[in-house]
Amino acid sequence: MLEPGTLLLDRFRIDRLIGVGGMGLVYRAIDTSAERRVAVKILNEVALLAPAMVSRFHREAKLLKKLRHPHVIEVIEVGQIDDGSPFYVMELLEGRDLRQELRARGTIPIDEAAGYAIQAAQALSAVHRAGIVHRDLKPQNLFVTELTGARRIKLLDFGISKTNEEGEATLTATSGVLGTPYYMSPEQILAAQEVDARSDIWSLGVILYTILTGRLPFTRGSVAAVIAAIPSDPPDPFTNDDSHIPPRARELLLHCLEKDPARRFATADAVAVA
């Protein structure tokens, strides 16, 4: 735990704890050099005992620090406290993620959903150009924040992403489950190490289907049944409750959810245009 007033890197003054996760803690802090509020993410004591977790944390910080895009979370600085615990400083986002939006509202109107999808696709395009496949795209990792009076998507959490530069064996050791089953593409389920950018396009299609219909495209009685259905079964058909989704939007969703990656949109830019 970091006490309020703790100064990191002679610049970032801890204000208060604002979030606790399985791997780390998030604090609100003040960047004294710019007089702005920021967030500080630091590993907890349990994660520090697991070398794979520490490695995952470092690589996430490294990836985010080199990415600069209005729809990707910005990492400002990376460091470690006196006991060696790593941390990174990122922009402070105010709002809630798409999962929270969906829980509060049930579904999201198509114009608003399309705006979110375009922004998420633009973020993915930048990520893919940098040689990165996110591999864990889900509503929790798309944060809706209000900047300059407009609602804006920010892409988060690159902890299990795949890059073109690193060995897959090291990456696989950082996480027992490479992805969140409900949003995983068929190829990610069958061979997680072999996926490319088109796997993220599948996941974006699942998200868009979910926020428009209020349900997942593969509804089964258990996680194991969902994992079995994704590579083999067609998405659940649209119902009378989906009458607000026009035919072209349905076509877009199903194009994202093609089993064969070669039949999906080839790029995130193409999704944004569609």
Q: Measure the CA–CA gap between 267 and 204, rounded to whole angstroms.
A: 12
Q: Measure the CA–CA gap between 155 and 272, rounded to whole angstroms.
A: 15
Q: Measure the CA–CA gap between 103 and 15, rounded to whole angstroms.
A: 30
Specify whether the CB–CB gap between 66 and 59 falls below 8 A.
no
Query: CA nearest 236: which of 254, 224, 218?
Result: 218
Specify whether the CB–CB gap between 131 and 103 falls below 8 A.
no
Q: Which two tokens stand for residue 118?
A: 């375009």
Query: CA nearest 79: which of 93, 62, 95?
Result: 62
Catalytic residue, chosen from 15, 136, 157, 200, is 136
Query: CA nearest 110: which of 2, 252, 229?
Result: 252
Query: Taking the CA of residue 188 as centre, how many other CA atoms within 13 Å lie in the half-sphere pointing to its CB?
Result: 28
Q: Measure the CA–CA gap between 245 and 243, rounded to whole angstroms.
A: 5
What stretches of 21-177 show up as alpha helix (H) in DSSP?
Answer: 45-48, 51-66, 98-105, 110-129, 168-172
**Residue 136 is a catalytic residue:** yes
The residues annotated as belonging to the active site are 136
